[in-house]
């Protein structure tokens, strides 16, 4: 039995969905532990590329149950549409469960999200956070304020109506809200169709662990967007860390075996906020173009830059990574050299290597210090086929040195490497020591 947590180690969009889908082949349950329809996990199957927004990656595999867990905020109408779309395409191969404790994201939250972002921009130019306007922040705020509805409430019309009236009483500053009667009716209809899927999910997971079945906890967003430990206020509204995955699933920390941090071989960020290694010039545009760096949910172009080992060390300490998955190494193929940030120099002359300033304005002033590593050849299809066939031994020697440098700098072994978008474009590197013992995993096998 293994309980694994997959955590984004950067600003999101690290191909967590790809790694989760890869690991789901050995899982019985895959649990999405936070976020809502603001997140999109792109999965490349033989049938084409598909984006999952509220369903856990496990639903794409036979014999796996995808759980939308209690830490999520679920938009039930969009949830049903997403599920039906997969059914129409013949891709809903696993089972679906939704926690009755997950909170309901409503149209009112989407309206409020846009209102709040516009208010920030009006009050102070540049203060906009750049949210997806999917209603995530207001939904989590109502959860914390105890105004919210939970998925389990939808099957109780009197409770649903009462909760909606209380919630609407807090939204008098908003206009164009849908009528309560209309919204209650739509929610009740959807709840009737989703009822067989909504249940207490934590006992299901506890029993699975007791039976020795593999459970995979799938993070949304990433550690550097954590509302407490990320680049506040340019963050999400939940806890996309390993600790947050426990709260968002109900699994106790004593049951966790592995925490896998996912990072791209470079860095990207969507929306506003500090980004020390951003390249605003030609190379940043190159990474955006070659990497296909657009948001899976919004389609917005991602800001691009270089691998930041200061942030990766920080994320490793915060989450307790037992190993790393480094993705999209193919995007850097063909470059003569690869810049990697090894430390920051702050305005007062001090240096930082594994902690981040708690103030976003201070982080915005950090000057990255780069080490330039030799690049590796372009990973054309023939090279990828050889890696699929022969494994990590076929990775270019300079790419192996790049991975080894990450291990040396972070003290965390690289266990998985993604070298393309397809499901089979992931190679597992053999462990050479104990998990969680610093650099106990080699950067490659052999």
| Strand (E) or helix (H) holding 187 | helix 180-194
Q: What DSSP assignment string belongs to 347-389?
A: TTS-EESS---SSHHHHHTPEEEEEEEE------HHHHHHHHH
Both structure tokens of 233: 């206020």
d(CA 104, CA 355): 35
Q: Is it true that the peptide bond before 233 is cis, omega within 30 degrees of 0?
A: yes
d(CA 160, CA 187): 9
DSSP 422: B
- Cα 80 to chain centroid, rounded: 21
d(CA 376, CA 284): 18
The catalytic position among 13, 113, 142, 153 is 13
Both structure tokens of 159: 């409770």
Contact indicator for 295, 270 with CB cutoff of 8 Å: yes
Would you call 13 a catalytic residue per the annotation? yes
The catalytic position among 21, 41, 53, 239 is 41
DSSP 294: B
Contact indicator for 31, 286 with CB cutoff of 8 Å: no
DSSP 232: T
Burial 255-282 (b: 16+ CB within 10 A, else e): ebebbbbbbbbbbbbbbbbbbbbbbeee
**Residues in the chain, total:** 446
Phi, psi of 304 (to 5 degrees): -125, 150
* Mutual angle of helices 309-319 and 397-410, in 10-degree steps: 60
Would you call 173 a catalytic residue per the annotation? no
* Strand-pair partners of 48: 45
Contact indicator for 373, 405 with CB cutoff of 8 Å: yes
d(CA 20, CA 32): 10
Contact indicator for 141, 148 with CB cutoff of 8 Å: no
Q: What DSSP assignment string belongs to 118-161?
A: HHHHHHSTT-------SSHHHHHHHHHHT---BGGGGG-HHHHH
Q: What is the set of active-site residues? A: 13, 41
């Amino acid at each position: 039995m293994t309980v694994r947590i997959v955590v984004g180690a950067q600003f999101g969009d690290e191909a967590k969905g790809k790694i989760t889908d890869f690991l789901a082949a050995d899982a019985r349950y895959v649990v999405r532990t936070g976020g809502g329809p603001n997140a999109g996990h792109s999965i490349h199957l033989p049938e084409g590329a598909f984006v999952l927004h509220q369903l856990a990656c496990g639903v794409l595999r036979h014999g796996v149950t995808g759980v939308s867990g209690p830490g999520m905020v679920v938009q039930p109408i969009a949830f049903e549409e997403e599920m039906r779309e997969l059914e129409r395409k013949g891709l809903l191969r696993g089972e679906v469960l939704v926690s009755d404790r997950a909170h309901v994201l409503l149209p009112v939250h989407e309206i409020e999200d846009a209102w709040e972002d516009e208010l920030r921009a009006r009050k102070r130019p540049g203060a906009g956070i750049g949210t997806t306007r999917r209603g995530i922040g207001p939904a989590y705020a109502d959860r914390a304020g105890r105004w919210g509805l939970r998925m389990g409430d939808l099957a109780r019309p009197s409770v649903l109506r009462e909760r909606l009236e209380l919630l609407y009483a807090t939204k008098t500053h908003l206009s164009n809200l849908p009528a309560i009667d209309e919204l209650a009716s739509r929610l009740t209809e959807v709840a009737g169709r989703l009822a067989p899927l909504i249940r207490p999910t934590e006992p299901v997971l506890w029993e699975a662990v007791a039976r020795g079945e593999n459970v995979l906890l799938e993070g949304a967003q990433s550690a550097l967007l954590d509302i407490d430990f990320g680049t506040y206020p340019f963050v999400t509204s939940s806890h996309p860390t390993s600790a947050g995955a426990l709260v968002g699933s109900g699994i106790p920390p004593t049951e966790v075996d592995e925490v896998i941090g996912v990072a791209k071989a470079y860095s990207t960020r969507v929306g506003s906020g500090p980004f020390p290694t951003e390249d605003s010039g030609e190379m940043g545009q190159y990474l955006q173009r070659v990497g296909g760096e657009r948001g899976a949910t919004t389609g917005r172009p991602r800001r691009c830059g270089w691998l930041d080992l200061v942030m990766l060390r920080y994320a490793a300490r915060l989450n307790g990574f037992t190993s790393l998955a480094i993705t999209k190494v193919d995007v850097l193929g063909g470059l003569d050299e690869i810049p990697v940030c090894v430390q920051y120099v702050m305005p007062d002359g001090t240096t930082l290597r594994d902690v981040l300033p708690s103030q976003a304005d201070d982080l915005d002033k950090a000057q990255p210090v780069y080490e330039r590593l030799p690049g590796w050849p372009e990973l054309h299809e023939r090279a990828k086929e050889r890696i699929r066939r022969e494994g990590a031994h076929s990775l270019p020697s300079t790419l192996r040195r790049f991975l080894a440098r990450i291990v040396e700098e972070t003290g965390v072994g690289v266990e998985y490497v993604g070298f393309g978008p397809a499901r089979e474009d992931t190679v597992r590197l053999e462990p050479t020591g104990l998990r969680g013992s610093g650099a106990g995993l080699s950067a490659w096998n052999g």
